[in-house]
Amino acid sequence: MRKKRDLLTLKDLTVDEIFEIMSLAKQFKRFPFFKKRALRNKTLALLFQKPSNRTRVSFEVAMTHLGGYALYLSPQEIAMGARESVKDVACVISRYVDGIVARVFSHNDLSIFSRYADIPVINGLSDLAHPCQALSDIFTIKEKFGVLKGVKLTYVGDGNNVANSLLITGVMAGLNVSIATPKGYEIPVEVLEEAKEHSKISGSIIEILNEPEKAMQDADVVYTDVWISMGDEHEKEERLKAFSGFQINETLMSYAKKYAFIMHCLPAHRGEEISDVIDGKNSIVYDQAENRMHVQKAVLYKLLR
C-alpha cells in the first residue's frame, strides 16, 4: 500500500513536484475533463472551520470533473476541537472518505489531524500557510509571463499565511520576491529562514522591508491581501492605523513597472488594503480565482489516485 501524501505546507512538495502540478494544471485548464474518471468512486471531505467561497467551490468542481464526489462539512456541523476532539474527528472521517481538505484556524490542529488521519490531508487554509492559494498564484504568474526566473513579485501588507506560502513557493520556483510589511507584522523568522535556504538553490533574490515604496521598485507583479483576517477582527482599529501607507493604489503602483499585474487572493476590502486599481486593466484577480480550480484539480489527481 502506498504511503499517504499530505499537503500541509510547501515543505510537502519538491521543486519538481511544484512544476509537475503546474504542468498538470495547464492541461486541466485547456481540457476540463482530461482524466475525467481518475477519481471515480473517490470521496473528498471538505472540513471547514472557516466559511469559504473560492476554496469550497473550486475543490467541489475539481473533484466532480475528476469523476469523484465532494462532501462539505460546515463549521457548525463538526465543531472540531470543541464538540469533538481533533483526534476523534480525524480517525472517524478517515474511515468514510478518501481525502480531506481542512480549512482551520490553527495550523497545530491541522498537524494533529494529519497525524491521526490515514488518508491524504490538504491544507485549505490555516493561520500559518495557504499552499493551494500560493501554487495557484505562481501558476497564474507563469501563465502571464511564460517564465518565472527573474520575474519580480512584490507583496505589500500583512505577513500572514498567504504571504508565508507565497514567499516559499515563489522562491522555490525562481521568482525574485520582495515583501513589505509594517513593523510588527513581518514574515515569521522560521519562514524567512526556510525561504533563504531555497534561494541558495534557485538563485532567487529576497527582500524583506518595512517601506512599501522600496519594495515596489521595478515590480512585475504586485500582490496584497486583507489587513484583518478572520479571527483578527478585535485588532481592527490597531491594524488600520499600523497599515496606513500600505494600500495598493495609483500612488504605490507608480513605483512598479508600468504594466505590472495586480493580484489579490480575495475577498478584497476596497478602500482598505487596495483601492479601485483592483478593477483596472492590470488586475488579474479573477484569473487567480479561476486557476484555483485547475491547480487544485492537479493536486487532487496527484495525491488521491
The per-residue DSSP string of the chain comes to -PPP--BSSGGGS-HHHHHHHHHHHHHHHHSTTTTTTTTTT-EEEEEESS--SHHHHHHHHHHHHTT-EEEEE-HHHH-BTTTB-HHHHHHHHHTT-SEEEEE-S-HHHHHHHHHH-SS-EEEEE-SS--HHHHHHHHHHHHHHHS--TT-EEEEES--SHHHHHHHHHHHHHT-EEEEE--TT-PPPHHHHHHHHHHHHHH---EEEES-HHHHHTT-SEEEE--SS-TT-GGGHHHHHHHTTT--BSHHHHTTS-TT-EEEE-S---BTTTB-GGGGSTTB-HHHHHHHHHHHHHHHHHHHH-
- Whether 270 sits among the annotated catalytic residues: the reply is no
225 is in an annotated binding site: yes
- The CA distance from 305 to 298, in Å, is 11
Exposure b/e, 38-63, CB count within 10 A at least 16 = b: bbeebbbbbbbbeebebbbebbbbbb
Q: Are residues 126 and 163 in the same domain?
A: no
User: Given this model, what pLDDT does residue 203 score?
Assistant: 98
The verdict on 212 and 183 lying in the same domain is yes
141 and 125 share one domain: no
pLDDT at 210: 98
Mean pLDDT by 10 residues, the chain (305 residues): 86 98 98 94 95 95 97 85 87 97 96 97 98 98 97 98 98 98 97 98 98 98 94 89 97 97 97 98 98 98 95
Decide if 130 is catalytic. Answer: yes
Q: Please indicate, yes or no, whether residues 163 and 248 belong to a single structural domain of this protein.
A: yes
**Residue of 54, 56, 65, 130 marked catalytic:** 130
Do residues 278 and 249 lie in contact, with contact meaning Cβ atoms separated by under 8 Å?
no
* Residue 124 and residue 166 share a domain: no
How far apart are the C-alpha atoms of 204 and 188, rounded to whole Å?
19
Q: How far apart are the first and last CA of the chain?
A: 12
74 known ligand binder: no
Question: Are the CB atoms for 153 and 176 separated by under 8 Å?
Answer: yes
Domain shared by 140 and 278, yes or no:
yes
How far, CA to CA in Å, does 135 sit from each of 61, 172, 175, 265, 295? 18, 11, 13, 12, 7
Is 265 known as a binding-site position? yes
**Does residue 267 lie in a domain region?**
yes
Domain interval for residue 269: 133-288
Q: Which of 6, 137, 225, 294 is catalytic?
A: 225
Query: Is 91 annotated in some ligand binding site?
Result: no
Active-site pick, 158, 265, 294, 296: 265
From the list 146, 278, 81, 182, the residue with the least C-alpha distance to 89 is 81
Phi, psi dihedral angles at 58 (to 5 degrees): -65, -40
**Per-residue model confidence (pLDDT) at position 77:** 84
224 shares its domain with 107: no
Q: What is the pLDDT of residue 79?
A: 73
Both 202 and 235 in a single domain?
yes
* Beta-carbon count within 10 A of 205 CB: 13
269 is in an annotated binding site: no
Give dist(CA 175, CA 205) in Å, integer.
Answer: 8
Cell 473550486 sits on residue: 58
Does any domain span residue 4? no
Place of cell 473528498: 44
Here the CATH number for the domain that contains residue 260 is 3.40.50.1370
Q: Looking at residue 218, what is its pLDDT? A: 97
Residue 239 annotated in active site: no
Looking at the fold, whether 152 and 239 belong to one and the same domain comes out as: yes
292 is in an annotated binding site: yes
- Active-site residue among 65, 103, 239, 264? 103
Q: What was the pLDDT predicted at 143?
A: 98
- Residue 212 annotated as binding? no
Please, which residues have CB within 8 angstroms of residue 278's CB and are 6 or more apart in sequence?
Answer: 248, 262, 264, 268, 270, 285
Total tally of structural domains belonging to the chain: 2
49 annotated active-site: no
Would you state the pLDDT for residue 1? 45
122 in any annotated domain: yes
Cell of 12: 510537502
Selected catalytic residue, list 56, 198, 239, 292: 292
161 labeled part of a ligand binding site: yes
pLDDT of res. 230: 75
User: 49, 133, 247, 296: which one is catalytic?
Assistant: 133
Q: Is 30 a catalytic residue?
A: no
